Amino acid sequence: MSAMKAAVLHGIEDLRLEDRPVPRLQKPDDVLIRVRAIGVCGSDIHYYRHGRIGRFVVEAPMVLGHECAGEVVGVGSAVATLEVGDRVAVEPGVPCRQCESCRTGRYNLCPDVAFLATPPVDGAFCEFIVSPADFAFKLPDTVSLGAGAMMEPLSVGFHAARRGRLTAGDTVAILGAGPIGQTAFQAARAFGAATTIMTDVVPYRLDFARRAGATHVLNSGETDPVAAVQDLTAGRGADVVIECAGAPDTLQQGIRMVKRGGKVVVVGLPAVAELPLPMHEVTTREADLCGIFRYANVYGRAIAATAAGQCEVESLITHRWGLLQAEEAVLFADEHKNECMKVLVEIA
Ligand SMILES: [Zn+2]
Ligand SMILES: [Zn+2]
């Protein structure tokens, strides 16, 4: 087999299904993966609509997609951990392994990371990809390939929970109940949060959060979420706030609702690079503001927690399309974002 189908972004709103050569194993520790499930992410939609995210600009045709799982169909000569037929979730960012960030374990901050579907690196909306074996994580039989693709957004939730030092018995406020808010919720519960307060303004997402088991769900368009969190905590505030909406007002709310000495974990990326914050609240409460960029060292744990039933990501997948409909999938995820959670592209 030499050719494969791939969904290639040529420019703004120009996604084409093309034949591309099947990639080859390049290094002895590479594996070749037949891609079976890929989640549509907000970043895929953003590249499709705008051709860029911040400093990352699509200048040459690029395959979209970075949330993927599949089957190993080829292994390099040095691969001892995987064999043909294994089902794997693929961690999509491969760092240089040499720089200070890599050597201190924070490889998500590597300036030379090659991340799927981040220009100029091709992504996973295609039939085959190559990955280093240590970035392909074997899935237990009980974890589906769709759930395997969801290990990417779940890893964001795990990283946020870790950065927030979330622990058993905590009260956690999660601002924004879209796909990342939902994975942050799953992670918070797996880390032991006792009280989980989720806010949004979209009824579909609030219903979703309620069904998923959030202990409190607030429509922040109708209720003042800061006052509500103070009420729910007898004036103490939340131990940890995880901001997933990327809006200036939610970040401000998060700072006002966190407890003294608490942590505000900033997952959402605001559309504006600079915004005003209630800094006196930050200093007088010694609140920690933690930025989040992707994740590091969490994929294996996210899979183990899913296999153990501590996380349940299958239900996040609300819509499924085939690779031939990749553009429809991206359009649907954008145009119906208030009526769907995660759109998955599946390849039979
Ligand atoms: Zn994503
Ligand atoms: Zn590095």
pLDDT digits (tens, 9 = 90+) for 216-245: 999 999 999 999 999 999 999 999 999 999
The ligand with the least distance to the CA atom of 118 is 1
pLDDT above 70: percentage of residues in the chain? 100
Q: So what's the pLDDT on residue 162?
A: 98
Amino acid at 48: Y
Q: Tell me the residue ranges of DSSP E strands in the chain.
A: 3-11, 14-21, 30-39, 52-53, 56-57, 62-63, 67-75, 87-90, 93-94, 114-115, 128-132, 136-138, 171-175, 195-200, 216-219, 238-243, 258-266, 288-291, 317-322, 342-346
Q: Which pLDDT score is estimated for 145? A: 98
Q: Is 113 within 8 Å of 1 (Cβ atoms)?
A: no
Average pLDDT across the chain, whole number: 97
Residues 6+ apart with CB under 8 A from 80: none
Q: How far is the CA of 237 from the centre of ligand 2 (A)?
A: 38
Gap from CA of 114 to ligand 2 centroid (Å): 10
Question: What residues have CB less than 8 Å from 27, skipping those under 6 apart?
Answer: 76, 78, 132
Q: How far is the CA of 174 from the centre of ligand 2 (A)?
A: 31
Backbone angles phi, psi at 319, to 5 degrees: -145, 145
Residue 240's DSSP bridge partners are 172, 263
**pLDDT at residue 108 tops 90:** yes
- CA 342 to mean position of chain CA atoms: 11
Q: What is the pLDDT of residue 55?
A: 86
Q: What are the two backbone dihedrals, phi and then psi, of residue 125, each rounded to the nearest 5 degrees?
A: -75, 65
pLDDT for residue 6 is more than 90: yes
- pLDDT at position 273, please? 84
**Model pTM?**
0.97
In the block, residue with structure tokens 């799982």: 69
How confident is the model at residue 270, as a pLDDT?
85
CA of 67 to the centre of ligand 1 (A): 6
Overall average pLDDT of the 179-193 stretch: 98
Q: How far is the CA of 41 from the centre of ligand 1 (A)?
A: 4
Helix (H, G, I), strand (E, B) or coil at 119: coil
Express each pLDDT in 265-316 by its tens digit.
999 988 888 999 999 999 999 999 999 999 999 999 999 999 999 999 999 9
Provide the pLDDT confidence category of residue 338 given band limits of 50, 70 and 90. very high
Q: Which amino acid is at 147?
A: A
**What per-residue confidence (pLDDT) applies to 202?**
98
pLDDT of residue 269: 87
Q: How far, in Å, from the CA of 151 to the mean position of ligand 1? A: 10
pLDDT > 90? residue 256? yes
Look at residue 199 in the predicted model and tell me its pLDDT: 98
Residues of the chain above pLDDT 90, percent: 97
Q: Using the structure block, give the residue that is written with the tokens 């131990």.
A: 239
Where are the extended beta strands (E) located within 176-237? 195-200, 216-219
Q: Token pair for residue 291?
A: 């930025």
Ligand nearest to the CA of 104: 2
pLDDT of 1 > 80? The answer is no
Q: How many Å lie between the centroid of ligand 1 and the Cα of residue 66?
A: 6
